[in-house]
């Protein structure tokens, strides 16, 4: 019940296209949903995040869409660029006892062809 399911596992997009990555969760205790971008040899870096009382959040070319009733959220990358090629992780945050932990999806490897 603490899983976050992410799809697709890999994605190839042409430069200028739209990249869409989807995630789903079961546990309604999750209350914060960040997306992380990870380049090879680097740690994950926060890209954008949303809270469940908001249905959409946009920052530049990156948009999160959130459907609370369906327990699904997605990342849209508009005008995808070769520099966006990386692995993207969705995550969900929950409070447990006195701590807060992130539960990550398995990741999507995005390749943007020039």
Partner 1 sequence: DAGVTQSPTHLIKTRGQQVTLRCSPISGHKSVSWYQQVLGQGPQFIFQYYEKEERGRGNFPDRFSARQFPNYSSELNVNALLLGDSALYLCASSPKRVYNSPLHFGNGTRLTVT
Distance of closest approach, residue 98 Cβ to partner 1, in angstroms: 5
Distance of closest approach, residue 9 Cβ to partner 1, in angstroms: 9
Residues that bind partner 1 (CB under 8 A): 4, 6, 31-32, 34, 36, 41-46, 49, 51, 89, 91, 93, 95-107
Provide the Cα torsion 93, 94, 95, 101; round to 10°: -50
Distance of closest approach, residue 97 Cβ to partner 1, in angstroms: 6
With CA atoms as reference, report the closest residue to 29 among 94, 102, 92, 73. 94
Start-end of H helices in the chain: none
Q: Based on CB atoms, which residue is closest to partner 1, 18 or 45?
A: 45
Q: Based on CB atoms, which residue is closest to partner 1, 1 or 14?
A: 1
> How far apart are the C-alpha atoms of 40 and 68, rounded to whole Å?
32
């Amino acid at each position: 019940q603490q899983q976050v399911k992410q799809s697709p596992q890999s994605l190839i997009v042409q430069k200028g296209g739209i990249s869409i990555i989807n995630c789903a969760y079961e546990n309604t205790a999750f209350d914060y949903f960040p997306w992380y971008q990870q380049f090879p040899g680097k740690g994950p870096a926060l890209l954008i995040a949303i809270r469940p009382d908001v249905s959409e959040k946009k920052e530049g070319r990156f948009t999160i869409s959130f459907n609370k009733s369906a327990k699904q959220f997605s990342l849209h990358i508009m005008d995808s660029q070769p520099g966006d090629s990386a692995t993207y992780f969705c995550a969900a945050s929950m409070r447990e006892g006195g701590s807060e932990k992130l539960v990550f999806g398995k990741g999507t490897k995005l390749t943007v062809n020039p």
